[in-house]
């Protein structure tokens, strides 16, 4: 039986960092080293201000760091020492070349795999942690076998990660399931068992699922596509609600009580964001095209199309409500992260919305409790032949509170569902008093009690609810 004693994780990002920190926290007899080619990121992991914000992460890292949890830029030495290696590098959508805008860019996976092949001096279990297209393990195997000079045996496992940002530690400590795919050979099954034994240090055995490699790879894309599909479905219904007087929260609640549907992931919104949903669906669309399944590709593509529509629809509502122009008007945007409890802004709906506000020549005041000014400028500017930074700076003000953002604003737009924007936490009377009148509030997260805010004087518009909802 193979017993894992030394783990290397290549990629110290949103997945590699928390995932392997939790392994170190739960398995004190395993040495876990997380490596990255980005020295600033590693320095931050070794400092008192970790590079990512995730509730509960600091406590876990600070407890195990320097004991059995290490962060390093010495990729080669860490690979050599390890008996199991997680490959947890980024797999963004390709920007250029074949499959641009759809396919996953596997360059980082390939370079990490080549590095393992070049420097390994003993057998390794190599684990795909990154989200990858179906059959990537085959390419990794080919690279490992062709480039290994020492005739070393490599086993490849697929162990996709299902954590959601903002709840990563909770998800990792108590996962719905852990999925481990392996080649159905004697060696493959032994490697699979070794990784099962790592997880069962804290995850109940019945929640550790073992499958073949290809099922495991596809399950990750499938799970994200199904989750995103639910959001696009409820968002499509939110448009019907606004047009009819139905209330999307009531519809979602009543549908969710059907035990076949369940209540989760039916919250209408300004559109899903995050680094995964869009990328992974496009990946599935590309895979379907490659497999000559155009109808399947079109089916999944519609989930992304609906998401884009939802964001544009929200912008159109804002402009038309503000008397068809927002030029020189001040719009206060509450929230910039793609969801609450994270500082991550990748594919955040806020970026699309604010870029549209800038194009309409509005003045935009932004407040987010966890996103830095520099990150906001990086997301909104497009460096290139014509650097847009100067223009963006003229139209954007980054604020240190919701009150500052809303001062003298014509409209407040809630984009991220941070708890501090709830109507029992934020003093909306104070906000109202300091705004231009009429004072508009657009709720892209169904976060506030519209009736309560209307009583204060706000003109409120909530996604999936029109003002006359429920009336004859
Ligand atoms: N973010 C999430 O919530 C989440 C959840 C589940 C799965 N995933 C998947 O996990 C993977 C990683 O996502 P992430 O959000 O952690 O990405 P990330 O960009 O935060 O982190 C990836 C890290 O890998 C490093 N890296 C790239 N190539 C390297 C190499 N050759 N050697 C060493 N380091 C290298 C980068 O410098 C970066 O720090 C992706 O495939 C993603 O789809 C992400
Ligand atoms: O009912 C809902 C639920 C979510 N969202 C939005 O959907 C996006 C994604 O949210 P969530 O799935 O909670 O966060 P992620 O961190 O993107 O996690 C998803 O993507 C990860 C990366 O693949 C997977 O590991 C997770 O299982 C999967 O939930 C965010 O913008 C949310 O605001 C809604 O609009 N309505």
C-alpha of residue 129 to centroid of ligand 1, in Å = 9
Complete DSSP assignment for 15-63: THHHHHHHHHHH-TTSEEEEE-S-HHHHHHHTSSS-SS--TTHHHHHHH
In angstroms, the CA 214 to CA 20 distance is 24
Q: CATH 3.40.50.720: which residues of the chain? A: 6-203, 247-462
C-alpha of residue 44 to centroid of ligand 2, in Å = 26
C-alpha of residue 131 to centroid of ligand 1, in Å = 9
Q: Does the beta carbon of 165 lie inside 6 Å of ligand 1?
A: yes
What single-letter DSSP state applies at residue 92? Answer: P
Only one residue has tokens 């506030």, namely 448
What single-letter DSSP state applies at residue 439? Answer: P
Q: Does the domain spanning 6-203 belong to CATH 3.30.2000.10? A: no
Only one residue has tokens 């629809």, namely 313
**Cβ proximity of 89 and 108 under 8 Å:** yes
- What CATH topology corresponds to 247-462? Rossmann fold (3.40.50)
- Ligand 2 atom 11, closest CA: 164
Interface predicted TM-score (ipTM) of this complex, two decimals: 0.98
Q: Does the beta carbon of 342 lie inside 6 Å of ligand 1?
A: no
3-class DSSP assignment, residue 470: coil
Per-residue pLDDT tens, the chain, 472 aa: give them: 789 999 999 999 999 999 999 999 999 999 999 999 999 999 999 999 999 999 999 999 999 999 999 999 999 999 999 999 999 999 999 999 999 999 999 999 999 999 999 999 999 999 999 999 989 999 999 999 887 776 799 999 999 999 999 999 999 999 999 999 999 999 999 999 999 999 999 999 999 999 999 999 999 999 999 999 999 999 999 999 999 999 999 999 999 999 999 999 999 999 999 999 999 999 999 999 999 999 999 999 999 999 999 999 999 999 999 999 999 999 999 999 999 999 999 999 999 999 999 999 999 999 999 999 999 999 999 777 667 888 899 999 999 999 999 999 999 999 999 999 999 999 999 999 999 999 999 999 999 999 999 999 999 999 999 876 656 5
**Cβ proximity of 217 and 133 under 8 Å:** yes
Q: Is 277 annotated as a binding residue?
A: yes
Locate 370 and state its tokens: 């966890």
Q: Among all residues, which ones are annotated catalytic?
A: 276
Would you say the C-alpha torsion 250, 255, 258, 264 has a positive or negative sign?
negative
Q: Is 357 annotated as a binding residue?
A: no
Which ligand 2 atom is at minimum distance from the Cα of 277? 20
Q: Does the beta carbon of 460 lie inside 6 Å of ligand 1?
A: no
C-alpha of residue 235 to centroid of ligand 1, in Å = 29
CA distances from 60 to 54, 170, 326, 445 (A): 11, 12, 46, 31
- Is the full-model pTM beyond 0.80? yes
Pocket test for ligand 1, best of 38, 53, 90 (most atoms within 8 A of CB): 90
Q: Is 455 annotated as a binding residue?
A: no
- Ligand 2 atom 28, closest CA: 164
């Amino acid at each position: 039986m193979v017993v894992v004693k030394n783990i290397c994780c290549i990629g110290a990002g949103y997945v590699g960092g928390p995932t392997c920190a939790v392994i170190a926290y739960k398995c004190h007899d395993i040495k876990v080293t997380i490596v990255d080619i980005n020295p600033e990121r590693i320095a931050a992991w070794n400092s008192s201000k970790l590079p990512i914000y995730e509730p509960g992460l600091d406590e876990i890292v600070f407890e195990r760091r320097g004991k059995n949890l290490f962060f390093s830029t010495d990729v080669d030495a860490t690979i050599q020492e390890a008996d199991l290696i997680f490959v947890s590098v980024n797999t963004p959508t390709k920007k250029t070349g074949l499959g641009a805008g759809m396919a996953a860019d596997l360059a980082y996976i390939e370079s990490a795999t080549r590095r393992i092949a070049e420097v390994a001096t003993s057998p390794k279990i190599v684990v795909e942690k990154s989200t990858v297209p179906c059959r990537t393990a085959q390419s990794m195997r080919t690279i490992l076998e062709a480039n290994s000079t020492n005739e070393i045996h490599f086993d490849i496992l697929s162990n996709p990660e299902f954590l959601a940002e903002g709840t990563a530690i909770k998800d990792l400590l108590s996962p719905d399931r852990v999925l481990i795919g392996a080649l159905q050979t004697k060696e493959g099954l032994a490697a699979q068992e070794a990784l099962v034994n790592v997880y069962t240090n804290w995850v109940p055995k019945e929640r550790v699922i073992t499958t073949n490699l290809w099922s495991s790879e596809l399950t990750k894309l499938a799970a994200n596509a199904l989750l995103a599909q639910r959001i696009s479905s409820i968002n499509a219904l939110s448009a019907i609600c606004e047009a009819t007087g139905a209330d999307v929260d009531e519809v979602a609640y009543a549908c969710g009580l059907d035990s076949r549907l369940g209540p989760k992931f039916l919250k209408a919104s300004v559109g899903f964001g995050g680094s995964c949903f869009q990328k992974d669906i496009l990946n599935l669309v590309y895979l379907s095209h490659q497999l000559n399944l155009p109808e399947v590709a079109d089916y999944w593509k519609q989930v992304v199309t609906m998401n884009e529509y939802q964001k544009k629809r929200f912008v159109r509502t804002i402009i038309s409500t503000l008397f068809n122009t927002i030029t020189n008007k001040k719009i206060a945007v509450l929230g910039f992260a793609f969801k609450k409890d994270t500082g991550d802004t990748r594919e955040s709906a806020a970026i699309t919305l604010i870029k549209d506000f800038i194009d309409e020549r509005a003045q935009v005041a932004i407040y987010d409790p966890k996103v830095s000014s520099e990150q906001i400028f990086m997301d909104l500017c497009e460096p290139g032949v014509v650097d847009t930074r100067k223009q963006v700076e003229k139209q954007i003000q980054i604020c240190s509170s919701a009150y500052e953002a809303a001062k003298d604003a014509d409209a407040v737009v809630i984009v991220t569902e941070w708890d501090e924007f709830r109507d029992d936490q934020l003093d909306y009377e104070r906000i109202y008093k300091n705004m231009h009148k009429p004072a508009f509030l657009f709720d892209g997260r169904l976060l506030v009690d519209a009736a309560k805010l209307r009583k204060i004087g706000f003109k409120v518009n909530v996604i999936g609810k029109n003002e006359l909802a429920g009336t004859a």
